[in-house]
Amino acid sequence: MSGTMRAVVVEHPGGPEALEVREVPLPTPVNGEVLIRVKAFGLNRSELHFRRGAAYSGSFPRIPGIEATGVVAEAPGGEFAPGTQVMTMMGGMGREFDGGYAEHVLVPAAQVIPFRSELPWEQLGAVPEMLQTANGSLQVGLQAQPGQTVLIRGGTSSVGLAAAVLAGLRGLTVIATTRREQARPLLESIGVDHIVIDDGEVASRVRELVPGGVDGAIELVGVNVMRDTLRSVRTGGTVCFTGMLSDDWTIPEFYPMDWLPNGVRLTAYSGEAADLDAQVLQDYLDAVSAGAARIPVGRVYAMHEIVQAHRDMEAGVVGGKGVVLT
């Protein structure tokens, strides 16, 4: 294949207007690479950080996007048959090499995950990074077991919503936080057991719901509330630091004796494509198809609406996972 494709290019860091839709050359795969025809791609806050020039890695000009969902166009090494439905994410996508904000993306075969589903592309496009992060936070970060109770701090974020769905499927009791009363129906609709309105301090209310504290907590808001999250967890329990919706990344005066309650563990999670098992992905998609789970899609955009999509992401009005259809 040769020719051109439409893609979103960032020449220099800047505001949402730095995202330009252009015709660019179609990449050519070699052995060990897979060219994916992108049907949809999810929107992530890390792409917002990259676009602003605030990311710790990456170079410009660049096609951003840390994930993509579509079908195999070419795989010269024979790893996947053309037409296979696939997802890909991370591994330097959209930072070190061109990413998913395009009609085609070229990635190493090792970071391609196949699946089979009849679900619409706007739903499938929301899944890869969201599911990988939610699954890893529960499995690796918390080592959560059926029957346990988990607090999701930042419950209406896309990862928070996906974690709540997965936790429910795995027999956990879910407490989720939101700052907005009007988000309650969204959290109820995906089966959250208890909803706590977050005014910056939730530990006392969590302990009213679960005397002694929850078994685990996924921190998706940031270090500005993490101390309070740690106080929501029982001795022997775990807090997994996964996200920073607040954009607060570091703790200026971290005093462990003061921050960490006795015996409460603090872990972190950020994974790669290899950390999302193809069977976990397939099981989740099958559960959605069967009506046992749902994919928390917020707003769906066309590629020419990418500037508006980033404005919405910055304003926090997407209401779930933002997805762009190519």
Q: What is the pLDDT along the chain (326 residues), one digit of tens a residue?
A: 679 999 999 999 999 999 999 999 999 999 999 999 999 999 998 999 999 998 888 999 999 999 999 999 999 999 999 999 999 999 999 999 999 999 999 999 999 999 999 999 999 999 999 999 999 999 999 999 999 999 999 999 889 999 999 999 999 999 999 999 999 999 999 999 999 999 999 999 999 999 999 999 999 998 899 999 999 999 999 999 998 777 777 888 888 889 999 999 999 998 899 999 999 999 999 999 999 888 999 999 999 999 999 999 999 888 889 999 99
Question: What is residue 243's predicted lDDT score, i.e. its pLDDT?
Answer: 84
CB atoms within 10 A of CB 118: 8
Judge whether 121 and 129 are in contact, CB under 8 Å: no
- ω before 61 within 30° of 0 (cis)? yes
Sign of CA pseudo-dihedral 39, 45, 49, 51: positive
- β-pairing, 321-325 vs 297-302, is parallel
Question: What is residue 52's predicted lDDT score, i.e. its pLDDT?
Answer: 95
90-105: string of b/e by CB count within 10 Å (b at 16+)?
A: bbebbbebbbbbbbbb
